[in-house]
Structure 1
Amino acid sequence: MSGSVHNGHALLLIDVFSHFHFEDGAALASTQASAASGMAAAAAACRHEGIRVVYCNDNFGQWQDTWQDVLAYTARRGPPESAAMLKQLYPESGDIVLLKSRHSAFFNTQLASLLEALSIRQLALGGAATDVCVLSSAMDARVRGLEVAVLEDATAAASQQRHARALALMQDSLDIRVCTHDAWLSPASSSA
């Protein structure tokens, strides 16, 4: 990232891997599978620009497993969408993967310390679900003084209504930027 106009930026992908064994899981599996191409495009664009990509995924109670084991567990236990997303979105060399046990990517994880160590001040969020884990993480990032953007083309909720409602709440009530990954990466936004 040295010398890049995007110093201090990171992409946080939240709960992109799941077994979908929860209320509204089947609906989320479908919408998340549809949004996976946007998540993959955002990650690829960030890597191309030298922007750190960080995954923070639920551990699904697999307390002694590595992140690789947890991701494999989601593909084994979930519907076909789980394996497809694992193939399409698997972390690449240089990406950082953290595990979490609650809604926010910040709650009892190393994320805050990691972002501080990497001097990250601008954070874009993608993943699922827009109205639960992405919303919780965006609020926590804002509370920590980070400049936050939620990538509307790289997030998903169990329904389009829930997705739109969460994006509107973040934008209108929390002053969180809602945009596409291309808009977030544009040179004009590097100082935003």
Structure 2
Amino acid sequence: MADTAVLVIDMLNAYRHPDADQLTGSVAEIIDPLSDLIEDARQRDGVDVVYVNDNHGDFTGDWDDVVRGALDGARPDLVEPILPSPGCLRLTKVRHSAFYSTQLHYLLTQLGTRRVVLTGQVTEQCVLYTALDAYVRHYDVVVPRDAVAHIDAGLGEAACQMMQRNMKADIVAAADCLP
């Protein structure tokens, strides 16, 4: 059973939304550390990688549609390095938190997860709300600062401070977050 799960949140993105220009610069900065973290996690016993991605309001599509939409989007260069491997653990979500109306808590319980490493986008939105939901479910929360992307740098920093103070999250570098 895995003790740790790396959650890759909302990284499959077409970047065709009003704040995409603000977001893509930050995403470009996290791609290398995030890609390295995902690869490292895949190689370790006791660590699962779980992709949780917004379905962007498409309730007729499946996981392959989410991936294809991201690859056909405005910035496939930000998607290709972190693509899920075949057969990976994956869930779609409809709102900010990766836990909201998803099977994530059930999945993590079945895996024996006690510690979640939150990566992806957006720090001040989906990552923050996922951290709160993880905390209230008694998971240990880890946020690698260099593997989460923000729209607004100030709000991203404030979100990290809130996660650290209010949710007891460990804010660390991606290279230091796995056991």
After TM superposition, the score normalised by the length of structure 2 is: 0.93
Q: Which residue of 2 aligns with 1:138?
A: 131
2:24 aligned with 1:40: no
Q: How many residues are matched?
A: 178
2:15 aligned with 1:9: no
Q: Which residue of 2 aligns with 1:190?
A: none
Query: How do residues 38-77 of structure 1 correspond to structure 2 at under 5 angstroms?
Result: 38-50=33-45, 51-76=47-72
Moved more, 153-162 or 108-117: 153-162
Contact 2:121–2:150, Cα closer than 8 Å, also in 1? yes
Match of 1:149 among 142, 149, 165: 142
Q: Show structure 2 runs of 5+ residues with no match.
A: none
Contact 1:52–1:95, Cα closer than 8 Å, also in 2? no
Contact 1:36–1:88, Cα closer than 8 Å, also in 2? yes
After TM superposition, the score normalised by the length of structure 1 is: 0.87
Do the aligned partners of residues 94 and 67 (structure 1) sit closer, same or farther apart at CA in structure 2, a change above 3 Å counting?
A: closer
Contact 1:31–1:159, Cα closer than 8 Å, also in 2? no
Contact 2:144–2:171, Cα closer than 8 Å, also in 1? yes
Q: Which amino acid aligns with 2:23?
A: L
Q: Which residue of 2 aligns with 1:30?
A: 25
Please, what is the CA RMSD of the aligned residues? 1.5
Deviation digits for residues 22-71 of structure 1 (CA, Å, limit 9, x no counterpart)? 34221112211221111111101111213110000000112121111112
Q: Show structure 1 runs of 5+ residues with no match.
A: 2-6, 187-192
